[in-house]
Amino acid sequence: MPEGTVTQSVPVIVGVGQASERIDDPDYAALGEADLAAAAVRQTLADTGADPAAVVAAVEVIAAVRSFEKSSPAAHSPFGRPDNFPRAVAARTGMDPARAVEEVTGGQSPQHLVTEFAAEIAAGRAGAVLLVGAEAMSTVRQAARSDGDKPDFSEQVGGQLEDRGYQIAGMVSVEEVKHGIIAPPTQYALLENARRHRSGLSRSDYVRQMGELFAPMTTVAAANPHAAAPRAYTADELIEVSSSNRMIADPYPRRLVARDQVNQAAAVLLMSEDAAAAAGIDRSRWVYLHGHADTVEQPLLARPDLSQAPAQPAAVREALEMAGLTIDQIDAFDLYSCFPVAVSVIADAFGLAADDPRGLTATGGLPYFGGPGNNYSMHGIAEIVQRVRRTPGSHGLVTANGGMLSKLSVGIYSTEPVPWRPSTSPALQAGLDARPRVPLCRFPDGPATIETFTVTDPDRDSRTGLVIGRMADGSRFVGAVDPRDEALFTRLAGEDDPVGTGVWVRSAPDRNHVTVDEATMDRLHPRRPVGFRDSYEDVLVRREGRVLEIVINRPQSRNALSPKTNDELDEIFDAYFADPELWVAILTGAGDKAFSSGNDLAASAGTGALATPANGFGGLTSRRDKPKPIIAAVNGYALGGGLEVALACHLIVADPAATFGLPEVKVGLVAAAGGLVRLPRAVPEALARDMILTGRRLTAPEALAHGLVSRVAEPGDVLALAREVAAEILAASPTSVRESIAVMAESDGQPDTVTAVRESLSVLDRVLVSSDTREGILAFVQKRAPRWTGR
């Protein structure tokens, strides 16, 4: 062999195994995830047909699918879990691999891991890799309901672990969380109803189509010893709503929804051909990966057509092309089947019928076999491997879906030997990423049309209606149906398709509201009158001539802003800008400790942290038009959102003890209320990056030296200084002040200075015809103080 030649190892699957238990089984043992996974691994070792000791000794890597108990920041383990799940499983089965991996969140992960580590084996970086995953959700929920002793699944294992984190960015957005689009049935119902609209079918006809798609799967599940619900159903039994088959999220009754209360585990063992031969594994056990692909769909709210997910059929086509096959040459399928639309998006693209004699599932499908979290497709792979072994030379195809049709990993399997083929997905993904995206309207207001919808728990008092719609300009919004709007709920529940019909939408700090028409919106959500209240809960307001003084009055929390505080400040600034008698505003904090320490995380727990007025944090940070000056009198801490509010003011004056900083990175957040944009424009960029990336704080003298503040007061006199500055502004022409503010705002994003100067000359057209200009010139000539009118 010539020097420098690199030989390629060919990866093969040599063992698969599954384990399961049902609560009503006679031998139910209430196993935790690690014990259940170990049982699947032992089955996998036995499936190789070789000496288990020889196989165990060869394993260099163990990679685990992420459990649902670790799949998001909101997830938790009520009865504990191993600190190193892969090594906990390895220890139970006599392994001591050099490398342990915990994969990212998503149902795509089992197939993605097969593809990834097959490539590692092909490159010679590993000889044997064990993939494993498990869920014991049924046991956990049973224990939580029981009054008896609680299990303890916690375990300190330690050792090396490559924890890849959640990586769920793009699979959920702030708008979706604000409006409760979190549970998978709700998410998929929106996609399903969009597909119903594209199909042109009535509600009843479409529901029947879903039942006919899934009924054949129940027959497969009924014959599968690992199925969580091993019973065959007719299409009618799947779709008829009853007390045992209640409607969860329109159009889904319970029997069409993935079943997550399961105790199931599965494992797959990959080896190089050489390692498999050395371990004594017979070639009849070897299964090759003929084709594979991985794609990512656009985020939900950016997709041009919510009824389709082009990245999914694209991945299947790519895998088929790699394998040199057509869909007609596939002998067995396991299509990811969490909800009907997940199957339909593939079946539609390739002309697969519900009664295809090959069947669309090898397990029985997620609603009937069970949906063990992210690990379902490990079971699908195990079943397909067994099928192609039983019919040598046949081909089986697995699709593994994650998120809201967000990620798809595809594998095509056969006993027929083939060389390893590296991934071609990056080029495919580049084309998918280049597709146009729909703009998002976060604060919609006015007439709109329904694009898709769902109603969750429609037969209960807790029902909620959700709409994704389009504004007149084509932008997309998410909105919640007002529970009191019976007319809109009736429209959504009708036999006629509501998609494309008109509604009215209006934004609010916590969510966008959707009603059947404008009159209903004005009745249920009347616009807030513009003006000052007699008093506020979190804010003090004082008028002194033409000056408005606003005090954030929450000294007990260092003037941190709660959702209520934000709402009150937003209302006050609306009133200030609308009041022609007020020309200058001063904003400060109560006490001497803080101007504002930012967001009150305790008061904003849960989705409340996302409840911000359309005008932004403090009613200022996203406000487009601030035509009259605001002075921030910083009397202590201006941290996080507090600094962002100050940066949104026109001038900042400070007490010598004031402190300025953006500490968000220290608590896992970012300064998204303007700090990332405004701070680099207010201070030298190098300093801004230092403050943003490290949380560095500036003292008042430092802030003055770098231009963040314009003046520093004597100790304890910052409000007095702010009043002096306000008096200086009042001595100037209010018309000139406002027009100057407008021109500065307009030129803020203009990169070409000369162009900005030329365009700013138009301000003279407005100023020179004002009464204030005439008065200013006359007062100068007459050597007297001008009497400004603001006109």
Domain layout of the chain by residue ranges: 11-175+255-433, 445-524, 539-729, 734-782
pLDDT at 770: 77
Residue range 34-43: average pLDDT? Answer: 98
Reported as a single tens digit per residue, the pLDDT across 521-530 is 999 999 889 9
Specify whether 116 is catalytic.
no
pLDDT category of residue 736 using cuts at 50, 70 and 90: confident
Using the Cα atoms of residue 107, residue 111, residue 117 and residue 123 in order, give the sign of their dihedral.
negative
Q: Which of 135, 175, 664, 739 is catalytic?
A: 664
Task: Report the b/e string of 248-279 with b at 16+ CB within 10 A.
Answer: bbbbbbbbbbbbbbbbbbbbbbbbbbebbeeb
pLDDT at 710: 97
pLDDT at 766: 74
When mean pLDDT is compared across 5-9, 370-374, 483-487, the lowest value belongs to 5-9
When mean pLDDT is compared across 17-31, 314-328, 734-748, the lowest value belongs to 734-748
Query: Which two structure tokens, joined as six digits, stand for 724?
Result: 């002096």
Quote the DSSP letter at residue 539: E
Q: What is the 3-state secondary structure (H, E, C) of 174-192?
A: HHHHHCCCCCHHHHHHHHH
CA–CA separation, 654 and 588 (whole Å): 10
Query: Which two structure tokens, joined as six digits, stand for 447?
Result: 């007439």
CATH superfamily membership of 11-175+255-433: Thiolase/Chalcone synthase (3.40.47.10)
Q: Which segments of 474-517 does DSSP mark as H helices, in order? A: 486-493
Specify whether 644 is catalytic.
yes
Reported as a single tens digit per residue, the pLDDT across 171-226 is 888 899 999 999 999 999 999 999 999 999 999 999 999 999 999 999 999 999 99
| Angle subtended by helix axes 771-782 and 734-747, to nearest 10 | 120
Query: Which two structure tokens, joined as six digits, stand for 699?
Result: 């003292």
Q: Which residue has the higher pLDDT, 574 or 611?
A: 574
- Residue 749 sits at φ, ψ, to 5 deg, of -100, 10
Q: What is the 3-state secondary structure (H, E, C) of 729-776?
A: HHCCCHHHHHHHHHHHHHHCCCCCHHHHHHHHCCHHHHHCCCHHHHHH
Residue range 621-630: average pLDDT? Answer: 94
For residue 662, give the nearest of 653, 649, 673, 648 by alpha carbon: 673
pLDDT at 38: 98
- Give the amino acid at 186: T
Q: Which of 175, 571, 644, 739 is catalytic?
A: 644
Whether 387 has a pLDDT exceeding 70, the answer reads yes
Query: Which two structure tokens, joined as six digits, stand for 416?
Result: 């027929």
CA–CA separation, 398 and 287 (whole Å): 14
- Residue 78 sits at φ, ψ, to 5 deg, of -65, -25
Give the CA dihedral 413, 419, 422, 425, nearest 10 degrees: -40
Percent of the chain with pLDDT over 70: 96
Q: Which segments of 307-418 does DSSP mark as H helices, in order? A: 311-323, 340-350, 376-390
- The residue count for the chain: 791
For residue 313, give the nearest of 428, 194, 187 by alpha carbon: 428
Q: Which segments of 337-472 does DSSP mark as H helices, in order? A: 340-350, 376-390, 425-433
pLDDT at 447: 98
Reported as a single tens digit per residue, the pLDDT across 439-474 is 999 999 999 999 999 999 888 888 999 999 999 999
Using the Cα atoms of residue 468, residue 173, residue 370 and residue 129 in order, give the sign of their dihedral.
positive
pLDDT at 4: 42
Q: What is the 3-state secondary structure (H, E, C) of 699-734?
A: EHHHHHHCCCCCEECCCCCHHHHHHHHHHHHHCCCH
Reported as a single tens digit per residue, the pLDDT across 249-261 is 999 999 999 999 9
Whether 1 has a pLDDT exceeding 50, the answer reads no
Residue with tokens 């509201």, as numbered in its chain: 513
The H or E element containing residue 470 is strand 464-471
For residue 476, give the nearest of 465, 468, 467 by alpha carbon: 468
pLDDT category of residue 5 using cuts at 50, 70 and 90: very low
pLDDT at 7: 53
The β-bridge relationship of strands 252-253 and 247-249 is antiparallel
CA–CA separation, 658 and 638 (whole Å): 7
Quote the DSSP letter at residue 664: G
- Give the amino acid at 629: P
Q: How many angstroms separate the Cα of 246 from the Cα of each of 230, 239, 489?
A: 20, 10, 18
E strands within 125-246? 128-136, 162-163
For residue 37, give the nearest of 128, 108, 117, 136 by alpha carbon: 136
Class of domain 445-524: mainly beta
CA–CA separation, 466 and 475 (whole Å): 17
Residue range 402-422: average pLDDT? Answer: 97
Whether 3 has a pLDDT exceeding 60, the answer reads no
Reported as a single tens digit per residue, the pLDDT across 270-329 is 999 999 999 999 999 999 999 999 999 999 999 999 999 999 999 999 999 999 999 999
Is-same-fold flag (11-175+255-433; 445-524)? no
Maximum C-alpha span of the chain: 108
Q: How many angstroms separate the Cα of 640 from the Cα of each of 102, 126, 349, 567, 682?
A: 34, 47, 49, 18, 15
pTM: 0.89
For residue 437, how many C-alpha atoms fall within 13 Å in the half-sphere facing its CB? 12
CA–CA separation, 509 and 507 (whole Å): 7
Give the architecture-level CATH label for domain 539-729: Alpha-Beta Complex (3.90)
Structural contact between residues 499 and 467, judged by C-beta atoms closer than 8 angstroms: no
Structural contact between residues 363 and 334, judged by C-beta atoms closer than 8 angstroms: yes
Mean pLDDT of the chain: 94
pLDDT category of residue 6 using cuts at 50, 70 and 90: very low
Percent of the chain with pLDDT over 90: 84
